[in-house]
Amino acid sequence: MKSCRECKHQVSEQAVACPECGAPYPARERWDGFNKGSLDMNPGFRKRLLQGDLLTGTIVTLSCPQIAELFSRSGFDWLFIDGEHGCLSVGDIQLLLRAAQPQCPCVVRVAANNNPMFSIISKRFGRRA
């Protein structure tokens, strides 16, 4: 067991995310993020959005990364992850974002923009449409 580099909660050295704060690979002294190109928004999505094309998406409220992966591979143009009305933690949301395929952008709704959850998620996964 080691301390999470962000919240100091005790975590396994093999942990993928801290269960307390959601930090990815919390036992590592530093973490530079995911592979640079893996989280960039699909440029075609932005273009279609600005053109006013009909884009289909679905809401994800379950803390099951397999659902996000399945939906992102099922032809949806985007996913809506609801962190306001469900019981999703920061760690759950991060796992859902990782599971969604790079070509399927995600919109995350958080309870409030001054919520610590918002700053953690936007710091690690923030992308503009």
Residues 18, 81 share a domain = no
80 in the same domain as 46: yes
Checking if the pLDDT of 118 tops 90, the result is: no
Q: Are residues 23 and 47 in the same domain?
A: no
Whole-number pLDDT of residue 47 = 83
Which has more pLDDT, 96 or 115? 96
| Short-list 76, 60, 73, 65, CA closest to 99 | 65
Domain co-membership, 86 together with 129: yes
Query: How many distinct structural domains can be found in the chain?
Result: 2
Residues 22 and 44 in one domain: no
Q: Residue 45: give its domain's CATH number.
A: 3.20.20.60
Lowest mean pLDDT among 60-74, 95-109, 111-125: 111-125
Q: What element of type H or E holds 96? A: helix 90-99
Q: Are residues 77 and 115 in the same domain?
A: yes
Task: Quote the percentage of the chain above a pLDDT of 70.
Answer: 77
Which positions ≥6 away from 109 have C-beta within 8 Å?
A: 80, 81, 82, 83, 84
Only one residue has tokens 């919109």, namely: 107
Known catalytic residue: 9? Answer: no
Q: Which of 85, 107, 116, 129 is catalytic?
A: 85
Mean pLDDT across 76-89: 88
Condensed to tens digits (0 to 9), the pLDDT of residues 8-45 reads 999 999 887 788 877 778 898 887 665 444 444 566 78
Whether residues 48 and 18 share a domain: the answer is no
Domain that holds residue 8: 1-31
Strands 2-3 and 10-11: antiparallel
44 & 87 share domain: yes
Q: What is the mean pLDDT of residues 81-85?
A: 87
Query: Are residues 27 and 55 located together in one domain of the fold?
Result: no
* pLDDT, the chain, mean: 80
Question: Both 90 and 54 in a single domain?
Answer: yes
> Are 47 and 75 within one domain?
yes
Q: Could you tell me the CA-to-CA distances from 61 to 26, 51, 96 in Å, in that order?
A: 25, 29, 10
